[in-house]
């Protein structure tokens, strides 16, 4: 299939650059000054950075001074983890977390979801239901009678399954909220949720840190942000000129930051206008049609709160890698898990942690965008069903 007729269904990996972001970046390309310079040219560049900082802050619901621009969400995650010394010196990531957190985890924690995608803990949803299992005293986990703190990574929305916690993970330093457990601070990955759903916090509860990335919401690649909700500035990992108010040195990527800010503002407007409601209906049409085509296909997290655009499904016996390649040749871009694995296609660590076993290797993810149409969805289903029937015929 030629490039014109291809259908892009991998928006959780990256989303096409928004027109608003492109315009902002083109304008920023004409700026001469360094944002740290005090002359007029420098001040103009600084104004672009600060405008974008305010736009990202408005999307997230924080103060502009709490936004630290980084080179990626991965760098933002590393910067957050570097603050663990302020939270008892321990850091843990759930096994369903993105690799940017998982590699730093020094404590084993259980997955928050069961094989069907529902949240563990008697069917209850939300962070405070999760505390029952997060801090259970088992080998390699902290004892329940400890009184010190820890930093724990919890995604607001999982990139592979789309499953959303019904509340943004919050900072639970107040012992009364989690009586009998260790108080822990939270770094929340809002990368997938930002720009697709409203970001809301309880009046007196929010994470200590959050991370997000520009290219997941229609901005450019190579720029992200750490949101610091604590009272203390994060200690920098990169030292030098003291940019970003001393929190991340290095001359700011003015062009990328300008695009990030414009994309954040446009994404916020889309959420407020309810544009993702239409995409959720398309996602449901997709799954109903797939279900009609295959009664063995498993839809991960279908009964749980999910991102409006994400469907993760597995057809036992039909490898996800094979599906990705076959659909790519047919003109459809989908994925088998996270895109951040150096081009590797392998069984999802996240789905294995959720208890899917060997079926984890048979899963693919379809993630829609605001430009996805019903025709795109139905063409995908028709092609996928044809490939499935051929697979079954060969296996017979």
Give catalytic residue positions: 340
Q: Among positive and negative, which fits the CA dihedral 116, 122, 128, 130? A: negative
Maximum separation of any 2 CA atoms in the chain, in Å: 74
**What is the rounded distance in angstroms from the CA atom of residue 144 to the CA atom of residue 108?**
15
The token pair at 292 is: 């009609």
Q: Which helix (H) or strand (E) holds 212?
A: strand 209-213
**What is the rounded distance in angstroms from the CA atom of residue 108 to the CA atom of residue 229?**
26
**What is the rounded distance in angstroms from the CA atom of residue 26 to the CA atom of residue 47?**
16
**Nearest residue to 300 via CA among 350, 231, 247, 228:** 350
Q: Among positive and negative, which fits the CA dihedral 197, 198, 204, 208? A: positive
The token pair at 319 is: 């490898």
The token pair at 391 is: 């697979």
Q: Among positive and negative, which fits the CA dihedral 375, 376, 377, 381? A: positive
**What is the rounded distance in angstroms from the CA atom of residue 46 to the CA atom of residue 39?**
10
How far apart, in Å, do the first and last CA atoms of the chain sit? 29
**Nearest residue to 186 via CA among 175, 197, 173, 195:** 173
The token pair at 86 is: 């302020």
Give 290: exposed, middle or buried? Use CB within 10 Å, 0-12, 13-18, 19+. buried
The token pair at 59 is: 């999307």
The token pair at 362 is: 């048979």
Query: How many other C-beta atoms lie within 10 A of the C-beta of residue 31?
Result: 18
SS (H, E, C) 319-345: CHHHHHHHHHHCCEECECCCCCCCCCC
Query: How many other C-beta atoms lie within 10 A of the C-beta of residue 312?
Result: 31
**What is the rounded distance in angstroms from the CA atom of residue 200 to the CA atom of residue 180?**
27
């Amino acid at each position: 299939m030629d490039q014109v007729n291809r259908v892009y269904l991998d928006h959780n990996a990256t989303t096409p650059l928004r027109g608003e972001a492109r315009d902002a970046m083109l304008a920023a390309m004409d700026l001469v000054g360094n944002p740290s310079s005090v002359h007029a040219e420098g001040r103009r560049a600084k104004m672009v950075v600060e405008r974008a900082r305010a736009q990202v802050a408005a999307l997230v619901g924080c103060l502009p001074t709490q936004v630290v621009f980084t080179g990626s969400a991965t760098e933002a995650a590393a910067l957050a983890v570097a603050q663990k010394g302020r939270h008892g010196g321990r850091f843990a990531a759930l096994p369903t977390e993105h690799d940017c957190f998982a590699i730093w985890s020094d404590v084993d924690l259980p997955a928050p979801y069961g094989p069907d995608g529902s949240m563990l803990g008697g069917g209850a949803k939300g962070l405070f239901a999760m505390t029952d299992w997060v801090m259970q005293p088992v080998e390699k986990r902290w004892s329940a009678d400890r009184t010190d703190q820890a930093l724990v990574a919890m995604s607001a929305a999982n990139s592979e399954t789309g499953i959303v916690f019904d509340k943004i993970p919050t900072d639970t330093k107040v012992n009364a909220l989690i009586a009998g457990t260790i108080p822990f601070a939270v770094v929340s990955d809002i990368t997938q949720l930002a720009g697709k759903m409203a970001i809301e916090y309880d009046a007196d509860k929010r994470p200590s840190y959050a991370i997000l990335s520009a290219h997941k919401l229609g901005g450019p690649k190579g720029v992200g942000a750490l949101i610091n909700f604590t009272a203390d500035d994060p200690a920098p990992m990169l030292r030098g000129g003291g940019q970003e108010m001393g929190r991340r040195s290095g001359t700011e990527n003015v062009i990328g930051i300008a695009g990030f800010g414009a994309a954040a503002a446009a994404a916020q407007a889309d959420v407020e206008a309810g544009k993702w409601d239409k995409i959720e209906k398309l996602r449901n049409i997709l799954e109903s049609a797939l279900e009609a085509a295959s009664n063995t296909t498993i839809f991960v997290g279908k009964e749980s709160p999910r991102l409006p655009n994400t469907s993760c499904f597995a057809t036992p016996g039909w490898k996800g890698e094979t599906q990705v390649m076959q659909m790519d040749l047919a003109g459809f871009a989908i994925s088998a898990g996270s895109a951040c694995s150096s081009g590797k296609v392998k069984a999802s660590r996240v789905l294995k942690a959720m208890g899917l076993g060997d079926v984890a290797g048979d899963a693919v993810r379809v993630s829609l965008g605001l430009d996805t149409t019903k025709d795109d969805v139905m063409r995908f289903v028709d092609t996928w069903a044809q490939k499935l029937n051929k697979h079954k015929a060969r296996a017979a």
